[in-house]
Structure 1
Amino acid sequence: MLAGLDDIAGIAHEPDGTPVGVVALTHGAGGSRESAMLTALCDQWARRGWLAVRYNLPYRRRRPKGPPSGSAATDMAGIVEAVATVRGLAAGPVIAGGHSYGGRLTSMAVADGLEVDVLTLFSYPLHPPGKPERSRTEHLPRIAVPTVFTHGTSDPFGTIDELRPAVDLIAAPTRIVEVTGARHDLAAKTLDVPALAVDAALDLLG
């Protein structure tokens, strides 16, 4: 096992040959590193030559099921730890992000100074379902790194029309990958969502 992965409950997807860079991805509020989407994303990154790690947030390391317990600050500290661990596994650019809750907390950590080259967010939870007045965008203007939002057009946590002005708050290059018909889980019958998301991140990386 690669050094430090036990500490962050991480699973590595290794490329053939020397990695181009490293990717750290985490899960949503009810999920874990075993998410089918995280697995597919990390497989896609590894095929492109990157070392990709899917890891559990601290609350999920404490108990195998259930919603987040404890503080968001503790989970954010776990993200900072995980990115530092993954950064130490190979040279090259660092890409980090996650699904829903995990992506939101990663974006908050980046807004607070966590250094990454690209932020990649899946089903960013703009607001609780049915409560658009409770927007979760206050930290977005402090994000200064290229950011990809991969988002379903039927996501109850925010419409594409709601997402666009939120994305515009970020003072760095951004991309929105629209997944037609997909809900919060980003399941799509005709689109290769991992490939589209990785393409967008690599495009922003330049």
Structure 2
Amino acid sequence: MSAPIRETVREIETPGGPGRAHVRRPSSPRGTVALGHGAGGGLGAIDLAIAREVLVGAGWAVVLVEQPWLVAGRRVAGRPPTLDAAWVPIVEALLTGRGRLPRPLVLGGRSAGARVACRTAGPLEADAALLLSFPLHLPGQPDKLRAHELALAPDPSWVVQGATDAFGTPDEVRPHLPHGTTLLEVPGAHSFPRSSRSALTEALTRIAGMLPG
């Protein structure tokens, strides 16, 4: 009989208002994976859902973090500094106090959430990162790179990138990977379609077997 999975939702105050942490944890987790959503969508993205399913199945506590702007019902994300300012206290609250989640800590998310994870990996002393659809540049603007953010990813890190991602194809992202970062290419664009489910599951299962913990 498999161990029970506990699910909770915590509302946590941040400088930008309350955020929400959707926690799913086994009874004795190997560590904690915190994942953030993108700037144009919520927690229902297929890659976030599969990541949570696979990683919880591998024994990790997984937290999907809902940024304050989304909790408040706004349609547009805040500026990057406001996202970081909200993300850090949410993750810190999860790792401290009664009922705290254990380290090692893996930070990640999709698109804008992946950028937040990279920028805050140092302050939060992350042990690894899981970056889904990292937006290396805006569509049609390959000269305006965010490689400096990707460079902040901890060692080890993993990038799962769609083969036709207009925000940066695997071939565009690969030259900018920092030391200790592995890229896995899967079919699909920046927002993965349902047809990518099998490939995403395979890629995330591989990553789950390599995470430190």
Query: Are 1:61 and 2:68 matched, yes or no?
Result: no
Q: Deviation per CA, 1:82-106, whole angstroms, max 9, x where unpaired?
A: 2213323222311111100111121
RMSD: 2.3
Give the aligned partner of residue 193 of structure 2: 187
Shift in Å, 1:204 = 4.8
Q: TM-score, normalised by structure 1?
A: 0.85
CA separation in 2, counterparts of 1:164 and 1:177?
Answer: 10
Q: Relative to structure 1, is the Cα distance of residues 101 and 18 closer, same or farther in structure 2, using a 3 angstrom cutoff? A: same
Identical columns (%): 28
Does 2:210 correspond to 1:199?
no
- Kept in 1: contact 2:127–2:154 (CA 8 A): no
Q: Which has the higher strand share?
A: 2
Which whole-Å CA distance do the structure 2 matches of 1:31 and 1:204 have between them? 27
Deviation at 1:179, TM superposition (A): 0.2
Query: SS of the residue aligned with 2:158?
Result: strand
Q: Supply the AA of the counterpart residue of 2:160.
A: T
> Cα distance 1:175–1:28, how it changes in 2: closer, same or farther (>3 A)?
same
Instruction: Kindly provide the CA deviation profile for residues 140-163 of structure 1, in whole angstroms up to 9, marking residues without a partner as x.
Output: 334443111000101111111111
Once the two structures are superposed, the pairs formed by residues 169-188 of structure 1 within 5 Å of their partners are 170-171=178-179, 173-180=180-187, 182-187=188-193
* 8 Å Cα contact 1:4-1:85 kept in structure 2: no
Moved over 6 A (4+): 1-4
- Deviation, 1:130, is 0.9
Q: How far is 1:76 from its partner?
A: 0.4
Structure 1 residues 19 and 166 mapped into 2: Cα distance closer, same or farther (>3 Å)?
A: same
Mapped to 1, the partners of 2:64 and 2:144 lie a distance apart of 29
Q: Indicate whether 1:6 and 2:11 are aligned.
A: yes
- Residues 26, 143 of structure 1: alpha-carbon distance in 2 compared, 3 angstrom cutoff: closer
> Which of 112, 115, 118 in structure 2 is aligned with 1:101?
112
Question: Does residue 1:79 correspond to 2:87, yes or no?
Answer: yes
Listed one character per residue, the Cα deviations across residues 50-97 of structure 1 (whole Å, up to 9, x for unaligned) are 11110112221222x52213x321110122122213323222311111
1:198 Cα deviation after fit = 4.5
TM-score (norm 2): 0.82
Shift in CA distance, 139/39, structure 1 to aligned 2, threshold 3 Å: closer
Runs of at least 5 residues in structure 2 that lack an aligned partner in the other structure: 1-5, 13-18
